[in-house]
Amino acid sequence: MKATYHKYILNFKGPSGTSRGVMTEKETWFLVLEENGKKGIGECGILRGLSADDRPDYEAKLQWTCANIYLGKDVLWEALMEFPSIQFGVEMAFQSMASETPFLLFPSEFTEGEKSIEINGLIWMGEAAFMKQQIEEKLAQGFRCVKLKIGAIDFEKELELLRYIREYFTPEQVEIRVDANGAFALNEALGKLNQLDEFELHSIEQPIQKNNTDRMAELCKTTPFPIALDEELIGVFTLDEKEQLLQKIKPQYIILKPSFVGGFRGTQEWITLAEKYQIGWWITSALESNIGLNAIAQWTYLQQNSMPQGLGTGALYTNNFDCPLEVSQGQLWYKKELDWSFDFQKLMIL
């Protein structure tokens, strides 16, 4: 078996704002396997500035992975413990190789186009008018769950946006999730949670910066509405560390990004522990291309979690690959009559 890796820069259609700044492009890496004329592909979806494996030796580790591909998926997964996005790329590539076609990784009623996955509509940070416009678009598109990034503009303006939604839509009509990306100061977080409570939100992701476990545990105990851990899970590699974190913080939810937590196997470890401690969970993509999103969506369907999942369609990029994933009325569908616009040969010469 031969393995190669290839860098690819995804270009955003418009600047996309988070509490860590504005993004105009997103780097990703593809791992391609070849054997007896058959090809498989996996995406190593690193997010610079956030992923645990954003390290100077990242490309060297990809080289090492390709040189040692003969070790197989399971041995490589263990060896790549500190490189969760490469763990995921390896898992995906081996699954792709073993599949009938490179992109049909987990056949199901979802890939047959018979069932869909409910997803949340993502509202990007920006000026209040821009965020309001996005909210109106998502509601018009039939989403019954929206997720707002908060923490970048004036907090009072963010409260106004939430007030605007609640003036027109009850919690039964539209579920609101907010994601602070760790933006709240430790001494202000509880006060802000109390202010947010009037809008009957579903949950808030990562109200404070990760690695403040004592304070986060306190917040999860006293919060007026559920807290979901997101960044807190990044860089927690072993099963023991995962269990200790959940036992200490006792969150209401955890959010699982396969590219950040070691692929399907790493995600499954978190799910097993969450269910052991009666902690809710859902799965989210992490700005991968449609290659990675396709794999995550197919695997997510198999988990049969009825909550809205965080699976955007990759409509964010100008140079993504056309694929069978399509959003309709807040549901992600797999339209098997649609083709992929992906050329292995072109990727090889980039």
- Could you list the active site residues? 149, 257
User: Position of tokens 């190669």?
Assistant: 4
Instruction: Say how far apart CA 201 and CA 174 lie, in whole Å.
Output: 10
Instruction: Say how far apart CA 102 and CA 88 lie, in whole Å.
Output: 15
Q: Is 167 exposed, middle or buried (0-12, 13-18, 19+ CB in 10 A)?
A: exposed
User: Is residue 110 within 8 Å of residue 297, measured between CB atoms?
Assistant: yes
Instruction: Say how far apart CA 45 and CA 64 lie, in whole Å.
Output: 17
DSSP bridge partners of 255: 282
Give me Rg for the CA atoms of the chain. 20
DSSP letters spanning 96-139: HHHSSSTT--S-STTTTTS--EEBPEEE-BS-HHHHHHHHHHHH
Sheet holding 175-179, edge to edge: 121-123, 145-149, 175-179, 203-205, 227-229, 253-256, 280-283
Instruction: Say how far apart CA 122 and CA 149 lie, in whole Å.
Output: 8
Give φ, ψ of 201 to 5 degrees: -80, 155
